[in-house]
Structure 1
Amino acid sequence: MIGRIMKLEEIGFYTLCDKRAEEISETSPMWRCEMILTDKCNFSCSYCRKMSPVCQGVMVAETAIHRTNLWAREGLKHIRYSGGEPTLHPDIVKIVKNAKDKGIEKIAISTNGSASHE
């Protein structure tokens, strides 16, 4: 809508750190989200925001997969993995492959592009 700033929840966008994302419903479907996999980063950029205590550490892969599977059944179409540097997560390939296998249409990774993966 032009001329109006919309709240992210008005367009069905939540992060895993948002407790409301754990209680999606028919009246508040979640079709896109950002999953913060880790607060770890291999850079020390001065502009980068400090993570909320709820988002600190590394998310267990099984938690990421469980949430993705639940949300995919509820209609999730787009997911963005972020952090810190999400490619530093030890199971990033497994997590992304699961999202693809569950039919997520758009999978994005917010990365600084410096990590090398085989």
Structure 2
Amino acid sequence: MAEESRYAKGLMKLAEVDGKAGEEVVAPLGDLGRYIVEFAFGDIYSRDTLSLREREIATIAMLTVLGGREPQLRVHMGAGLNVGLTPEEIEEIIIQTVPYAGFPTAINAMHVLKSHQFPEG
């Protein structure tokens, strides 16, 4: 696939996952942002086997257990909401990580979730 169409495909998938917020995150990153768009969204997120909802469940769980990635976790919690997760489901994903990664990372993730501004409705 030509690099330009790979980038365009990635931008479309990023918008589908994250709305306008995704582009705002990667735009100031220059070439790093381009690599994120092409690889993460043009190649990985565009695969067919998992839904975007399932991909965000996995991503939220991974960012929770890795710890120290709260800014990215916040972005992916927003993306999770955008692709159909509820705040209650995100809380349950965090709780599911406790037996495998421990309480400290789950506590940090829960603080991120509780500080998230959810739309009224």
Instruction: Classify the TM-score, shorter chain.
Output: 0.3 to 0.5
Output the TM-score relative to the length of structure 2: 0.33
Write 1 or 2 for the structure with the bigger share of helix. 2
